[in-house]
Structure 1
Amino acid sequence: MNAGASQPVIRATLEDVARTAGVSLATVDRVVNRREGVRAKTVARVEAAVAKLGYRADVAAARLARGQTFRFAFVLPTGSNSFMTNLTEQVQRTADWLAGQRGFIDILRVDVFDPDVLAAALENLSPAYHGVAVIALDHPRVRAAIDELTARGVAVVTLVSDAPSSRRLHYVGIDNPAAGRTAATLMGRFLTGRKGTVAVIAGSLSLRDHTERQFGFHQILSSEYQSLVALPVIEGRDDSERTRELTAALLARQPDLRGIYCCGAGNRGIADALEASGRAREVVWIAHELTQYTRRFLVRGTLDAIINQDPGHEARSAARVLLAHCSGEPISPDQERIRIDIFLRDNLP
């Protein structure tokens, strides 16, 4: 081996800890797993050996030795929403990693816009699942279904859209009011010196993420950019054709329209309507999520800015949180915080 070559890192084992502490392997196992029956002085010796050697338990190996596995359901939307398609692909990739940790993911496709359908899907989940990640509606029946799962000992993580008053374990997603405020600040600065109206297009105000984004947007626009007036929210149900029709009607009846903020999906419909109207370079348009379509619209100048959340980070975070809960391990809050990205044409990855 070359003198400058790095030495391989050798991970300390329970046997190493037992040898250093001068106790049996069974005693070390009891101390590490916080079981009773070991004298305080012996516990102190073992803990000192653990600290000296930097021992860390191999949780996956321990699960394998016990024959322990966990199964999780990821409840994702039906439809052709590009961001949700990306999220589904990332969940599938995460499933490959999780299998090596003795955890397994099933993807269930549900109409999350319908509270009865979503609640029924949660109510009828197989008892084989140890945890669930769900795109949640903040609706009484959905909250009740989440609470029932929690009461049965099933860990529930809300993903992208939250139901905060439920008994869910954790929310994995961006700070949506902050995302809406960010969009309003961008809109106000892009439209400096111009007066007129701004449209807000949501998928559904039943989805808390869309509601919180439009709330944050209105909060900043009304307080800091009084020359711009936000129109009543339009709901396109994240459907491109429905959103195209609504946007075309809006452009036809609103000659003073200066901007569009889409806090949901359906962006292909907005692009079609803007370009057909001939006002694509006149109306400032801000949307959410970097997809193959929004990237294209941003590059050609139809779209002005994208507020983004990383679906890969969200998929991995949801899986990590569920696995850590079932294994009795802590999570790192900083690692699981989902950041808000802002993309312009000049900084596309």
Structure 2
Amino acid sequence: MRRVTIHDVAARAGVSLATVDRVLNGRSGVRPATVAKVAAAVEALSYRPDVHAASLAKKRRYRLKFLLPDGANAFMLDLRRETEDLALRLAGERIDLGVLPIDAFDSHSVAGTLAILDRASCDGVAVVAPASTEVRAAIDRLTLRGVPVVTLVSDHPGSARSHFVGIDNVAAGRVAGRLLGRFLPKVPAKVGFIAGSLGLRDHAERHGGCLELFEEAFSHLEPLRVREGRDDNIRTREIVLRLLDEHPDIAGLYSIGAGNRGVIAALEETGAAGRVTVVAHELTPHTRAALLAGTLDAVIAQDAGHEVRSAVRVLKALIDGKPLMEGQERIGIDIFLPDNLPPHGHGSPCVI
């Protein structure tokens, strides 16, 4: 079947090619009645723009840099893998997608990486940014140099970043609190908290959201002070072992960040697995196995592939000066129990 072109749309609407182009690209100067005619023709013909051809016609090459944490954090490894896979798929569409490794717990290092970027080296940046004044200033300076910045997974709303791609982390923390409150008996009980670092905004927001929900709906639950494992499995295991030793009557645990292998190991070593109700973040091979074994009770997850694709779409729109499709870029909060786990290797289609 012959592909519908912009010429077909123009003929159907009875307008010029230039007018169709103005309408499709959201530019001003077209009467509302003419816009309606073009929209009707697009719908009647089921016209879909050829994004690849449009990029070639503009002779635009999009050079995008993703600053992603390195290390053993399973979710960040997924994010990096999704980014690298997408880079291969987009190579033929004049999109150069590169990954720069960072240490999300080292604000000075992240700020230094942002400082060396400019319009000569890239057209847009996505960054997992720790919440510090140093990083905020680096984002602001990069934006002033004409490079749009998107924060990924963890936001930096006080900065000049153009958009945030990630879940609502306060809502995610409230979901965790709701799950713990529903799972635990309605009697006074202690709940522990393990974060990577409250210096990461996503972890701080999840912690705050959970505490907020406890106050509103489950005031009988006693939140213990948060412990920080820097998303390191060995360190997190030691922290959880100490927590269980100090509070042998602990009833619930919220693993806010990564380091879940350490959480799981400590619970299983001490025989607390199955006795302590545990809610964790991100669906990985390790959290999946722990869900099935009953060591974890629920996993709150976000789609790494969706976030990477969304960041690319947002950066392209910012570079081209086009509006965002907000609904398409909203990242959902998934809740997994042993009964609704997706198949291994399950993922969303690649759509840019």
Q: How many angstroms does 1:137 deviate by?
A: 1.3
**TM-score normalized by the length of structure 2:** 0.88
The answer as to 2:128 corresponding to 1:112 is no
Structure 2 gaps, min length 5: 343-352
Q: How many residues align?
A: 334
Cα 1:286/1:21, change in 2 over 3 Å: closer
Hey, what's the Cα distance between the residues in 2 that align with 1:69 and 1:60?
Answer: 11
The answer as to 2:67 corresponding to 1:75 is yes
Cα 1:204/1:9, change in 2 over 3 Å: farther
Hey, what's the Cα distance between the residues in 1 that align with 2:13 and 2:222?
Answer: 71
The answer as to 2:153 corresponding to 1:160 is yes
Hey, what's the Cα distance between the residues in 2 that align with 1:235 and 1:128?
Answer: 36
Cα 1:49/1:215, change in 2 over 3 Å: closer
Preserved CA contact (<8 Å) 1:172 1:317? yes
Q: How many angstroms does 1:332 deviate by?
A: 1.2
Q: What amino acid is the match of 2:107?
A: P
Cα 1:18/1:268, change in 2 over 3 Å: closer
The correspondence for 1:238, drawn from 223, 231, 241, is: 231
Hey, what's the Cα distance between the residues in 2 that align with 1:144 and 1:203?
Answer: 23
Hey, what's the Cα distance between the residues in 2 that align with 1:286 and 1:264?
Answer: 11
SS of the residue aligned with 1:231? strand
The correspondence for 1:10, drawn from 3, 7, 12, is: 3
Preserved CA contact (<8 Å) 1:161 1:208? yes
Cα 1:9/1:254, change in 2 over 3 Å: farther
Hey, what's the Cα distance between the residues in 2 that align with 1:9 and 1:182?
Answer: 49
Alignment of 1:140-151 (within 5 A): 140-151=133-144
The answer as to 2:82 corresponding to 1:90 is yes
**TM-score normalized by the length of structure 1:** 0.88
Q: How many angstroms does 1:236 deviate by?
A: 0.4
Cα 1:285/1:40, change in 2 over 3 Å: closer
Structure 1 gaps, min length 5: 1-7
Cα 1:304/1:20, change in 2 over 3 Å: closer
For structure 1, which segment, 293-302 or 318-327, has the greater mean C-alpha deviation from structure 2 after superposition?
318-327
Q: How many angstroms does 1:247 deviate by?
A: 0.4
Preserved CA contact (<8 Å) 1:28 1:46? no
Give the share of equivalent positions with the same residue, in percent: 49
Q: How many angstroms does 1:226 deviate by?
A: 2.3
Q: How many angstroms does 1:22 deviate by?
A: 7.6
1:289-324 deviations in Å (ceiling 9; x for gaps): 000100011110111100111111111111111112
Hey, what's the Cα distance between the residues in 2 that align with 1:180 and 1:47?
Answer: 44
- Give the equivalent residue in structure 1 for 2:115: 123
- Give the equivalent residue in structure 1 for 2:41: 52
Whose radius of gyration is greater, 1 or 2? Answer: 1
Q: How many angstroms does 1:282 deviate by?
A: 1.0
